[in-house]
Structure 1
């Protein structure tokens, strides 16, 4: 049995084929870059139909190369928080609003939850621009009549499968779900000005999807494959990093970044008290992740590489090696603003300490170090929820590619033990483990190494672009 793992990311969509032990098959990776519309006003959107076309291209590529034979399970890791308004025919009424978009704000004089802390404890979220409780009323003001709302995974999978309900994992990222009852929260629906019929149906515990007949004719190898409920990318990354219990926190740096701790808390069981500055989402019906996220990650390198004429490849590695961990120029890396609960807008990034001797590498190192410091502060808060220090596993394409960034994290997070996951496709691998229910095997299957190793990931069977975002 093989597994097709899809990663519906922000900067790219990827499909890779894994064996029964979630090991990537050599060369069985297809990837398409996604065009994001980003503006100084906080815009962060993408085209739903174009995204679907990119996913179809990935599946065509894998099928044409013969990689989809023996696939009988499809696992999906998908970005949290996206929302897309649809008309009565199910056609998009505009672009997908991604997590990166900071434009939504309160409308109509709404004052928010009656008990903000109680709302936070129930939903794991805040009344904030990143969540549907504030996004849906704002979207109604931006466009004409809206029939219903979906997230990106529901839109894409709805075009491929016989049905595409919203998984509890994706629903938890909307800020409208009661994490204990796994039902829409009544106060959150009131704030959103939404009725349940305007939202995706919530998937049942045993839901699995199948390709539509016309899609199965295009990819006959997948005609009988079961599609598992999409897992929020942060939860999938924890599992793929081997961080499935409170002894180890995952620090993931992809396009954005996050620090998260995973716990087994089945639906209906009491939730631990959630600190004011942390969120909590569901991985599935039995597991939650608690943590903090940042709008900047690998996109910091992408910006620096585009604008600062950085040296390339081994030359960049050698130049960074001369900058001590904790070095570089002072920088605020919040180019994309704050993710919840922060309210800093896009364009909050700052560079300091510049002189005529400052190099592009000094600036890059300062941006990387700035993110390390943000993570270190929130990790202290995260540890307060379990009253003991944790080990840390770094993951994601950006840290997999950068020895310097791994060492900077190790220095910032000391004295905690810090290691890194060498497989850059932790989201897709984690989603496969969730689909298989193999949480207990995640630690043994993780490809974890020292923070000072420079090892080319082997997921694709070939070398990878440096510092991918």
Structure 2
């Protein structure tokens, strides 16, 4: 049996083929970059129709190369928090809001949850612009067409391909509208969002499996009999794919953005562990929760610097970074995209201070990258306070794979904790496959984890 894994990210769409143990098949990968539209007003949007077209192109590429012959299961890792309003025909009304969009504001006169702390403990989230409790009223007010229902990007895309596309408990938990213990839509959160049950996707039951619509089964006959599983939130999937599946290991993932997270086993209906007011909590699946914090900056800082500064490239840049003194005088705040919850700093909150005529472009990049390391180290201390012992840390994600210097900067910031590196680049796809197979615990024995340089 082979597994087709989809990675529905912010900067790219990827489709790759894994074997029955969730190990990638050599050469069986298709990727398309997607265009994230950002603006000085805090916008961060994607074109839903173009995103779907990119996914179709990836599947066509794999099919043409003969990589879909033995696929029996299709899994997906997808970005949390995205939302798109749909009309009565299921067509998008405007662009998709991503996690990066900081524009949503509370409706005039809205008071928020009756008991904010109880709301946070119950849903793992806050009444915040990142979550649907604020996003849906904001979107509805600006829609030029009546909104029939709302969906995440993954549910929109899969809703086109499949006969039905309910939302997984993992993806639903990222909306901020779910009671994490009952595993159902939270009445107070839905009331704040101004939605009725029919305007939200149906929650996928445990072990849900979907099928392609007839027109797409004809397009890819190799997938006609394949079973599709409900997507897993990208952060949860990345933890599993990094081998961080219990409180003994924390995952620090740096892709487009960054996050630090821990997974705990908490089955549906069980009492949830106390949650620090500084941390969020979502669902991996019906048996596990993931707790942590995230940042709007990550690899996008590196991409910005490469685009806007006169930097060397490749090995020359790495060598230059290693020559930057550890006690440089430049100070940086890497919050270019504003705060992720619970913070409320707007987009454009990044800072560079202590510049002189001797400051180089490499100095600026080094301090921005170190600034993110310091944020992660501070929040990991809060995360560790809720577990028995300090965690081993595993670095993962595309940005970590690309820069040995950045890995070393994290080692320095996170000391004295042991820090390791997951060299396998497709941690989201691997993690989503293990969740779909009901083998989350096997992530702890996953290959590719080694010493950090």
Residue pair 1:328, 1:363 contacting (<8 A) in 2 also: no
Q: Which runs of 5+ in 2 are unaligned?
A: none
Q: Distance in 1 between matches of 2:299 and 2:402?
A: 10
Where do residues 48-447 of structure 1 align in structure 2 (5 Å cutoff)? 48-144=48-144, 145-325=146-326, 327=328, 329-447=330-448
CA distance in 1, matches of 2:388, 2:9: 33
Separation in 2 of the partners of 1:382 and 1:66? 45
Listed one character per residue, the Cα deviations across residues 96-126 of structure 1 (whole Å, up to 9, x for unaligned) are: 0000000000013101001000000000000
Deviations 1:342-373 (A, max 9, x none): 00000000011211111111111111000000
Quote the Cα distance in structure 1 between the aligned partners of 2:397 and 2:419: 14
Q: CA deviation at 1:443?
A: 2.1
Q: Distance in 2 between matches of 1:330 and 1:79?
A: 31
SS in 2 for 1:159: helix
CA contact (8 A) 1:326 1:412 kept: no
Q: What is the deviation of 1:309?
A: 2.0
Change (3 A) 1:328 1:296: farther
TM-fit CA distance, 1:326: 6.3
Residue 333 of structure 2 contacts residue 350 of structure 2 at CA under 8 Å; is this kept in 1? Answer: yes
Deviation at 1:204, TM superposition (A): 1.0
**Contact 1:158–1:164 (CA under 8 A) maintained in structure 2:** yes
Cα drift, residue 127 of structure 1: 0.2
| Residues 332 and 353 in structure 2, CA contact (< 8 A), matched pair in contact too | yes
- Give the Cα separation in 2 of the matches to 1:129 and 1:445: 36
Change in 2 beyond 3 A, CA 1:276/1:142: same
Following the alignment from structure 1 to structure 2, what is the Cα–Cα distance between the partners of residues 398 and 20?
A: 27
**Alpha-carbon contact 1:250-1:392 (below 8 Å) kept:** yes
CA RMSD of aligned residues (A): 1.0
Distance 2:313 2:207 in 1: 48
- The alpha carbon displacement at 1:55 in A equals 0.3
Q: What is the aligned partner in structure 2 of residue 32 from structure 1?
A: 32
* Unpaired stretches in structure 1, ≥5 consecutive residues: 453-469
Task: Give, in whole Å, the separation in 2 of the partners of 1:15 and 1:334.
Answer: 31
Structure 1 range deviating more: 386-395 or 277-286: 386-395
Q: Deviations for 1:44-70, whole angstroms, at most 9, x for unmatched residues?
A: 000100000000000011111111111
Structure 2: distance between partners of 1:444 and 1:382: 23
Q: Does the aligned pair in 1 maintain the 2:281–2:291 contact within 8 Å?
A: yes
Do 1:329 and 1:363's aligned partners in 2 also have CA atoms closer than 8 Å?
A: yes
CA distance, structure 1, for counterparts of residue 221 and residue 439 of structure 2: 28
Deviations 1:310-350 (A, max 9, x none): 10111111111212456573110000000000000000000
Q: Alpha carbons of 1:328 and 1:219: their partners in 2 closer, same or farther (altered >3 Å)?
A: farther
Deviation at 1:18, TM superposition (A): 0.9
- CA deviations on 1:70-114 (whole Å, 9 max, x unpaired) are 111111000000000011111111000000000000013101001
| Number of corresponding residues | 452
So what's the TM-score if we normalise by structure 2? 0.98
Cα offset, 1:243, TM superposition: 0.2
Compute the TM-score of the two structures, normalised by the length of structure 1: 0.95
Q: Check if 1:17 corresponds to 2:8.
A: no
Alpha-carbon distance, 1:161 to partner: 0.6
Residues 66 and 105 (structure 1), Cα distance of their counterparts in 2 relative to 1, 3 Å cut = same
For residues 149-173 of structure 1, give each alpha carbon's deviation from its aligned partner in whole angstroms, at most 9, with x where no partner exists. 0000000000001110010000000
| In structure 1, C-alpha distance between the alignment counterparts of 2:34 and 2:300, rounded to whole Å | 13
Shift >6 Å, 4+ stretches? none
Residues 329, 354 of structure 2: 8 Å contact kept: no
Q: Distance in 2 between matches of 1:224 and 1:326?
A: 59
Is residue 7 of structure 2 the alignment partner of residue 7 of structure 1?
A: yes
Contact 1:327–1:365 (Cα < 8 Å) also in 2: no
Separation in structure 1 between the aligned mates of residue 327 and residue 447 of structure 2, nearest angstrom: 28
